[in-house]
Amino acid sequence: MRAGRSAARCAAPGGTDDEVVIETIGPDTDWTSALEGVDAVVHLAARVHHKHEEHAVQLYRNVNIAGTLHLARSAATAGARQFIFVSTVLVHGRSNDGRAPFSEQDILTPRGLYGMSKAAAEAGLRTLARDSDMKVSVIRPPLVYGAGARGNFALLTRAVHLGLPLPFGSIRNHRAFLSAQNLSSFIARRLAHPDPRQ
């Protein structure tokens, strides 16, 4: 089963009739038809890159926090055994300031509405996981790149295509990138092996 915001986004090459259009994600979304007979949910949708972020607090809350938790509760009620939430490395803040690489044991220090909304959703999912039989996994990828990538990666690509000289050699700033294919592969492995010790 695949759920998307439009028929075009929902359809995939070789798609099937198991596709449901969900126009909005929020605390009142009806997930009944999308969750019927579903064993696992992979939740990637989120509100990102709002032009005037400071004026979008309620939008981020409705979609990224309340919408995520409503979907997870609906999935648990429908009998799903696994819920995979794709969060963001930004729940750790924007820098590790020379410390060891981020780990799942770190205390979260999110910055910006997006990072804070994802951290709040993670907190809600931890509570849900304790109170239900559904196994919850959280994945915190860095910037994901691939065909049609948007956001900061699209800006970087545009600068490269313009032939602008990029002063990366003089900048002491390391950033991690993850391909969409590698992220997909990791999600598939987690679906096959919900226990992180496997």
What is the C-alpha separation between 61 and 40, in angstroms, rounded?
Answer: 24
Instruction: Kindly report the pTM of this predicted structure.
Output: 0.82
Candidates 31, 83, 114, 145; catalytic one: 114
Neighbours of 115 (CB within 10 A): 21
What's residue 107's pLDDT? 86
DSSP for 133-182, please give it. S-EEEEE---EEE-TT--HHHHHHHHHHHHT----GGG------EEEHHH
For the cut 60, the answer to whether the pLDDT of residue 9 exceeds it is: no
Domains of the chain: 2-140 (3.40.50.720)
Confidence (pLDDT) at 17? 58
CA distance 180 to 146: 5
E runs forming strands in 16-121: 19-21, 40-43, 82-86
Asked about 114 being catalytic, the answer comes back as yes
pLDDT one-digit tens code per residue, 17-55: 577 888 789 999 999 999 999 999 999 999 887 666 667
Using DSSP bridges, classify how beta strands 82-86 and 40-43 pair: parallel, antiparallel or unpaired. Answer: parallel
Report, as an integer, the average pLDDT of 86-103.
83
For the chain, give the number of residues.
198
For residues 103-123, average pLDDT: 90
